[in-house]
Chain A
Amino acid sequence: MQAGMTTRSLLALCLGAALGTGHAATEITLARFFGACEADYGKVTDVSKATGECGTITSLVNQYNATNKEGVVVKAEVAEWGPYYDQLTSRIVAHNVPTIAVMHQSVLGDFVSRKLVEPLDDGFKSVGINTADFTPHAKRGVVIGGKTYALPFDTWSWLWHINVNYFKKAGLTTPDGQPILPKSPDELLAQAKKIKDATGKPYFSWTTANETAAPTRTFLTLMYQQNAQVFGADGRKISVHTPAATNALTLMNKLWTEGYIKKGLDYGATQQAFTSGDVAVDVVGNWTINDFLVAAAKADSPLHDGYDVVPFANLYGKKAIFADGHSWVLIKGGTHNDAEKKAALSFLKFLWDHDYDWSRTGHLPANNKVVQSAQYQGLPYRKNILEITQIGVTTPSNVPRQRAIEAIIGEEISSMMLSGKAIPAVEDAIESRVNTLLASVH
């Protein structure tokens, strides 16, 4: 009798607890990079108070956890961006799959071709995400074979962050104080000389130590500006024994050997070199705009009243620039029941509704409505970079192993700059290594 009462009491307690809270908590996991900043943003539940990629995504998760009515708890699993995909791959192989994962649009094709990512068209309809609102670049990135495999979050590209104060010193500004951008390789070299003569500083900082992304993105941008076809139509062959590739490599090599690129910088040192006034132009992506704005606001900053950002200058005929984007995917096996899938879609809808907040970091919105909003266009410098949604070029999704290919290209170009590897040898090595890799993909 006593035991029976106890059981009933426990059941009643559980029922009461369930009724009292409305729903039992559904916990889902979110695998991401963008950094860890729990110390600064661990308790911030208002995204409008956040700055930078890490602060914004951390606050967005906190805000969702604090405000959602479905009783969903999103648990972030943060990895360093360098080994992020290696870790994600290991997790998939070990069947320890996160519910939601961030994924570059350039990487998505590899996962889709292995049927590892869930199509989301029906799910998006169920929560009210209209895929017609995706920007053209975002749509190209997440729609494969007519199906939508990811929620696009942004478009990012390869930008010139400019210390206008140095341009002014070198006489490279218009009467209204705008930096004059070079329109050809020769103009760029001439500008670089002027900057060096006037300020004693190198023109560029871009990451050349311990990272391969920067040289790859610069090289691909220069190739696209020459309207060059880098990969074959079937995505299974790279060709860089071309005049366009030689032009691009020659320019990069000249900039390096003539001392117009600050040497020996890893990623952190590259950004530091720009904010400390050691260079005139920092070549990096959208994600640093917010941080540089904060730095430029300080009275003692070399960037004070002299920061500007533009897409990578058009040095050849065609307006084009390397671009990619972040997106969110549901990997197969990451949701174990309908409740988790519903929770995941609810969180994706929340992220989609806060695309503007994410775009404050410097990324371009993936939502057309946000792009066209006065609120977004009122943000500093956004009008300068808005054309990227039109001129951004992504490596075609039928090219497999894009991440590994980008690493090989960057490594060979770094060898040219750091070790003096000859340009024909660099072209040979890129073709041989990439084509061997592509040939091994079935």
Chain B
Amino acid sequence: MCICLMKPGLPGMPHKGAAMTTTLSALPAAARASSQPKVKGVQHWSNALFVLPFVLVYIALLVVPVVTGLWLSLNDVDVLSGDRAFIGLANFARLWHDDIFRGAIRNTFLFVLMTTPAFVALGLALALALNRQDRVGTALRTIFFGSSVLSVTIVTLVWRLVFMTDKGLLANVMHSLGLASINPLTSSALALPAIALVTVWWIIGLPMMLFLAALQQIPEEIYEAAAMDNAGRWRTFWSITLPQLRKTVALVAIIEVILQFQLFGQAQLMTNGGPNNSSRPLVQFIYEAGFQQWALGYSAAAAQVLFGLMLIGVALQMWISKRGQTQSGEST
């Protein structure tokens, strides 16, 4: 009975829809009449009670803050005194002319572009290398995932020591190679890439695990068939593994785009947004406007911009992956 709930013409399901229409028309009219109310469940409004707790929590913790944030962005609000005045879109106009804000947008996009491909490529590479059922594989999986459980404070402290001028690990390595040492955190060109490197090192474990889980879902028979056809390792990878992982690649990319748009702790603790605003992300801008300058409305306006950018980024990502799927479906 449950197929009656599916709508004919659902994207990607034209054949099933047609079959369903045929099935329904074949049913006796009386049977259809008697089954419809039960199927639609119109009278069973009390079923909504099952989802009510979720809906209430969702409204309280998501919808209300989003709407409040939107309203705040249209006001001039002092965070400490609570004084506010409606100023329309003035906060957004001020953002438009704010060089620091524009820099923060640039930095955030650059950071997402640096880290997301790295998470996908490196996560997949590690998963392929460690997709083995022996002790070495288990130990290495634990080690690579281990850094993900550390707090941002610990991770940034460790890496600040690595990058420390003259006495850090990097400086020692460069000295041993006869090169002058450099602290990337004090260089406008290197600060953001250094934060990206730290971030990838820190949380590469999650993409690796997602890829590992996906790899283990691929039926062994396909590989056996490929082996019987004398397919080489690269051919097997390109024609079997990668197509089977398409959805996981999209998942990892979407998760990482959402996460990396929210960069904050690493940048604040390692560079404080400097030098010359070269590593200040949007969330740090929002934090500083709200908690250092006490301009809550201005901070909320910047948060709305971030929300919009994330929405666009994720929508784009989903559209690309869906388009890829459709094309691949058409070609097969």
Asked if B276 and A418 sit within 8 Å, CB to CB, the answer is yes
Asked if B237 is at the interface of the complex by the 8 Å CB criterion, the answer is no
Q: Kindly state the separation between the CA atoms of A269 and B288 in the bound complex, as whole angstroms.
A: 25
Chain B residue nearest to A90 (CB atoms) is B291
Contact B271 A89 (CB under 8 A): no
Q: How far is the CA of A436 from the CA of B101 in the complex (A)?
A: 13
Q: Which residues of B, 159-188, contact A by the 8 Å Cβ criterion? A: 160, 164-167, 183, 185-188
**Is B131 at the interface (CB under 8 A from chain A)?**
no
Return the CB mask of A358-370 against B: 1 if under 8 Å, else 0.
Answer: 0000000000000
Interface presence of B80 (CB below 8 A):
yes
- Give bound CA distance, A278 to B23, whole Å: 86
CA distance A211 to B271 in the complex (A): 8
Q: Is B81 an interface residue (CB 8 A)?
A: yes
* Residues of B with C-beta under 8 A to A411: 273-274, 277
Q: Which residues of B contact A437 (CB under 8 A)?
A: 293
From A86, A89, A415, B277 is in contact (CB under 8 Å) with A415
A273 to chain B, nearest CB (A): 9
Instruction: Verify A414–B275 contact, CB threshold 8 A.
Output: yes
Instruction: Give chain B nearest CB distance to A211 CB in angstroms.
Output: 7
Min Cβ gap B214→A in Å is: 39
List residues of A (208-256) whose CB comes within 8 Å of B's CBs: 208-212
A436 — which chain B residues lie within 8 A by C-beta?
94, 98
One of A89, A212, A262, A418 near B79 (C-beta < 8 A): A89
The answer to whether residues A210 and B270 also contact, given A114-B81, A266-B160, A440-B298 and a CB cut-off of 8 A, is yes
A86 to B271, alpha carbons, bound, how many Å?
18
User: Given A93-B79, A414-B274: A209 and B185 within 8 A (CB)?
Assistant: yes
Question: Is there an interface contact between A209 and B183, defined as CB atoms closer than 8 Å?
Answer: yes
Kindly state the separation between the CA atoms of A288 and B213 in the bound complex, as whole angstroms.
53
CB distance from B96 to the nearest CB of A (A): 13
Complex: A414 Cα to B166 Cα, angstroms: 20
Residue of B78, B167, B275, B288 touching A418 (CB-CB under 8 A): B275
Residue A391 is within 8 A (CB to CB) of chain B in the complex: no
Q: Which residues of B contact A404 (CB under 8 A)?
A: 288, 292-294
Q: In the complex, what residues of B have CB within 8 A of residue A262's CB?
A: 165
B278 is an interface residue with CB less than 8 A from chain A: yes
Is A120 among interface residues, defined by CB-CB distance under 8 A? no
Main secondary structure of the interface of B (DSSP, over half): loop
The chain B residue with its CB closest to the CB of A418 is B275
* B186 and A418 within 8 A (CB): yes
Q: Is B83 interfacial (CB-CB < 8 Å)?
A: yes
A181 located at the interface, meaning its Cβ lies under 8 Å from any Cβ of chain B in the complex: no
B292 near A209 (CB under 8 angstroms)? Answer: no
Q: In the complex, A90→B291 CA distance in Å?
A: 8
Mark out the residues of chain B between 216 and 269 whose CB falls within 8 Å of any chain A CB in the assembled complex.
Answer: 269
- Does A336 interact with chain B (Cβ within 8 Å)? no
A269 vs B270: C-alpha distance in the bound complex, in angstroms? Answer: 14
Query: In the assembled complex, which residues on chain A have CB atoms less than 8 Å from the CB atom of B164?
Result: 264, 269
The answer to the question of B317 belonging to the interface, with a C-beta cut-off of 8 Å to chain A, is no
Residue of A nearest to B153 (CB): A80
Is A210 in contact with B274, judged by CB distance below 8 angstroms?
yes
Contact A212 B272 (CB under 8 A): yes
Task: Give A418-439 as 1s and 0s: 1 = Cβ < 8 Å from B's Cβ atoms.
Answer: 1101000000010001001100
Is the CB of B128 closer than 8 A to any CB of chain A?
A: no
Docked-complex contact B80 and A418, CB < 8 angstroms: no
Provided the pairs A89-B291, A404-B293, A407-B292 are in contact, do residues A421 and B276 lie with their beta carbons within 8 angstroms? yes
CB distance from A115 to the nearest CB of B (A): 8
Q: Which residues of B contact A211 (CB under 8 A)?
A: 272
Question: For the complex, is B283 an interface residue (Cβ under 8 Å from A)?
Answer: no
B80 → chain A, closest Cβ, in Å? 5
- Nearest CB in chain A: distance from B234 CB, A: 44
State whether A263 touches B79 (Cβ < 8 A).
no
- Asked if B100 is at the interface of the complex by the 8 Å CB criterion, the answer is yes
B295 at the interface (CB under 8 A from A): yes
B182 CB to nearest chain A CB (Å): 8
Contact with A along B125-153 (1 / 0, CB 8 A): 00000000000000000000000000000
A381 CB → nearest B CB, Å: 29
Whole-angstrom CA separation of A433 from B274 in the bound complex = 16
Contact B276 A209 (CB under 8 A): no
Chain B 74-85, CB within 8 Å of chain A: the 1/0 string?
A: 001011110100
Residues from chain B with a CB closer than 8 A to the CB of A208 are 186
User: B265 → chain A, closest Cβ, in Å?
Assistant: 11
Nearest CB to that of A265 among chain B residues? B165
Contact, CB under 8 Å: B165 / A89: no
Contact check, A264 vs B165: say whether CB atoms are below 8 A apart: yes
List B contacts of A266 (CB < 8 A): 160
Whether A442 sits at the interface, judged by CB under 8 Å, is yes
Known: A403-B292, A440-B76. A264 touches B274 (CB 8 A): no
Nearest CB in chain A to that of B187: its residue: A418
| With A407-B292, A421-B276: A264-B80 Cβ-Cβ less than 8 Å | no
Residues of B within 8 A of A421 (CB): 276
- In the complex formed, the residue of A with least CB distance to B184 is A264
- Cross-chain contact B292 with A419 (CB below 8 angstroms): no
Say yes or no for A401: interface residue by CB 8 A criterion. yes
Which residues 278-326 of B sit at the A interface, judged by CB distance below 8 A? 278, 287-288, 291-295, 298
Chain A residues with Cβ under 8 A from B165's Cβ? 209, 262-265, 269
Are A86's CB and B185's CB within 8 A? Answer: no
> Contacts of B292 on A, CB cut-off 8 Å?
85-86, 403-404, 407
10 A-B pairs within 8 Å (CB atoms) are namely: A85-B291, A110-B294, A114-B81, A210-B270, A210-B274, A263-B183, A264-B183, A415-B276, A429-B99, A442-B78
- Given A86-B287, A421-B276; 18 other pairs, CB 8 A cutoff: A85-B292, A86-B291, A89-B291, A114-B81, A210-B160, A210-B270, A211-B272, A266-B160, A269-B164, A404-B288, A404-B292, A411-B274, A415-B276, A418-B276, A419-B275, A429-B99, A436-B98, A440-B76
Closest 9 pairs between A and B when the two form their complex, measured CB to CB:
A264-B165, A418-B275, A264-B183, A419-B276, A415-B276, A86-B291, A114-B81, A419-B188, A264-B186
